[in-house]
Amino acid sequence: MNIGQAARESGLSAKMIRYYESIGLLAPAVRSDSGYRLYQAADVHTLGFIKRSRDLGFSLEEVARLLTLWQDRKRASADVKQLARRHIDELDRRIGELSSLRNTLEHLVEHCHGDDRPDCPILQELASGGCCS
């Protein structure tokens, strides 16, 4: 199948497929005599794996490791679990940061009158640099 068909089947854009190929997440596609990329069902399956991994927030580096583990039938599931656990820990850290940012912004919004006056504690706090450091 051509890159457009592979894109539709995998849920990725053609641009992302070319990118994943360029960074080595996907093996270079076979080329037709006219130079067009041609993909097999196995390639689309790999692209789906990459997409689902990215949808779960794994970094490109982590996706590469997951692909290696997926393709290694002798791997220990403990290795996969360890990688996933580290990712969960990172997600928890980011959730904590986002929660803190949300709480700060909520506090600022609660103290803003939201009327016709120019006085605005949100802008004052942003200008002072005190809210988000």
- Digit-coded pLDDT (tens) for 99-130: 999 999 999 999 888 888 888 889 988 898 76
- What does DSSP assign to residue 37? E
CB atoms within 10 A of CB 93: 10
Q: Which residues contact 1 (CB under 8 A, 6 or more apart)?
A: 9, 38, 39, 40, 44
User: Per-residue pLDDT for 83 more than 90?
Assistant: yes
pLDDT of the residue at 131 = 66
State the chain's mean pLDDT as an integer.
94
- Note the pLDDT tens digit of each residue in 30-61: 999 999 999 999 999 999 999 999 999 999 99
Query: What is the pLDDT confidence band of residue 19, given thresholds at 50, 70 and 90?
Result: very high
pLDDT of the residue at 79 = 96
Query: What is the pLDDT confidence band of residue 13, given thresholds at 50, 70 and 90?
Result: very high
Query: What is the pLDDT confidence band of residue 132, given thresholds at 50, 70 and 90?
Result: low
Give the separation between CA 87 and CA 64, rounded to whole angstroms.
Answer: 14
pLDDT of the residue at 121 = 87
